[in-house]
Amino acid sequence: MLGPGDDAAVLSAPDGRVVVSTDVLIEGRHFRRDWSSGYDVGRKAAAQNLSDVAAMGATPTSIVVGLGIPADLPLTWLDELTDGFVDECATVGASVAGGDVTRCDLVVIGVTALGDLGGRAPVTRSGARPGHVVAVTGRLGYAAAGWALLEAGVPVDSPALREAVAGHRRPCPPYAMGPLAAELGASAMLDVSDGFLQDVGHIAEAAGVRVELDPRAFTVAEPVAAAAKELGADPLEWVLSGGEDHALAATFPPDVRLPASWQVVGRVVEGEGVLVYGREIGRRGWDHFR
């Protein structure tokens, strides 16, 4: 309704409620300028916040951005970053509503995303009940595989390996599945940012239930399998423990008919913690698993 150029932006919130998520990305910790272009970083920074909004069952509507940038940052990098914000927002029909830029010794990116629930109840982390199924949609393991390839410095010379590296640089969250899951009656949902086992542990903890996973039910996508073969790694560890792909994990009552894009990978039972391979993962999640 009123965008950049004033003290604040004015955004439409037709639902009477607004969903808000914020994250800070720090150069060297969340991205490296020698590994990712400004455009990639912009896409990724926007994606991880838009995905948080979708994980509540809302449709993302806009982002505002606070930037800290070094005096010697090439202007082209900043232009690319902005293009990345705009293009990632465009994939969900959202817009960049405003921002703030200041000097900093390293690149710091604060993104706040807003979204609209369209009359739906928000899907929190705490509604999983015994008997519900655990399902996932979106990519798992791409970002971890791509990061491992870059870290190892091996030649990225096949389409599959290039897709894994691209998955690290730029996630591809299944945004539309968030509102859809809310409409289907998801009892709990979150976006997989730290790793599936760790994040699904939050669902178990929030509801006081146990999640039992069937590791054979997870798909290992070809780019993840190819990277694992190249590096002699276990691809399922990336799938179960890798973060930053921003898949959506949710629980549903057993009578819900899920679209094919959701894979059932486990079930909710009485108890606590997360069980996979007959082993309890516990509160510390993937740290223990590794």
Binding residues: 7, 21-23, 30, 52, 99-100, 125, 191, 193-194, 244, 286
Q: Which of 219, 216, 221 is nearest to 266 (CA)?
A: 216
- Does 160 help bind a copy of itself (rule: CB under 8 A)? no
Return the DSSP state at 108.
E
Contacts of 15 (CB under 8 A, 6+ apart): 116, 117, 118, 119
Give the x/- contact pattern for a copy of itself in 103-132, rule: CB under 8 A: xxxx-x-x-xxxx-x----x-xx-------
Angular region, 275: left φ>0, alpha ψ -120 to 50, beta rest: beta
Q: Which of 118, 155, 156, 124 is nearest to 16 (CA)?
A: 118
> Shortest distance, CB of residue 120 to a copy of itself, whole angstroms?
11
Give the x/- contact pattern for a copy of itself in 166-205, rule: CB under 8 A: -----------------------xxx--------------
Give the x/- contact pattern for a copy of itself in 14-43, rule: CB under 8 A: xxxxxxxxxxxxx--xx-------------
Structure tokens, 22: 């914020």
- Of 8 and 260, which CB lies nearer to a copy of itself in the complex structure? 8
By DSSP bridging, strand 133-137 and strand 247-252 are antiparallel
- Residues making up the annotated binding site for ATP are 99-100, 125, 193
- What H or E segment, with its residue span, contains residue 164? helix 159-169
Q: Which residues are at the interface with a copy of itself (CB under 8 A)?
A: 1-2, 5-26, 29-30, 52-53, 55-56, 58, 62, 64-68, 97-100, 102-106, 108, 110, 112-115, 117, 122, 124-125, 189-191, 206
